[in-house]
Amino acid sequence: MPELPELNPVIHGKLRLALLSLLSGVEEAEFTWLRQKTGATDGNLGAQLLKLEEAGYVSVKKRFVQRKPQTLYRMTDAGRAALTEYVQALRQLLGGAIDG
Binding site for another protein (CB under 8 A): 12, 14, 17-18, 21-30, 32-33, 36-37, 39, 65-66, 70, 83, 87, 90-91, 93-94, 97-98, 100
Amino acid at 19: L
Q: What pairs with residue 59 in β-bridges?
A: 74
CB of 81 to another protein, least distance (A): 15
Between residues 1 and 98, which has the closer beta carbon with respect to another protein? Answer: 98
CB of 35 to another protein, least distance (A): 10
Q: How far is CA 9 from CA 1, 12, 35, 86, in A?
A: 24, 5, 22, 10
Amino acid at 79: G
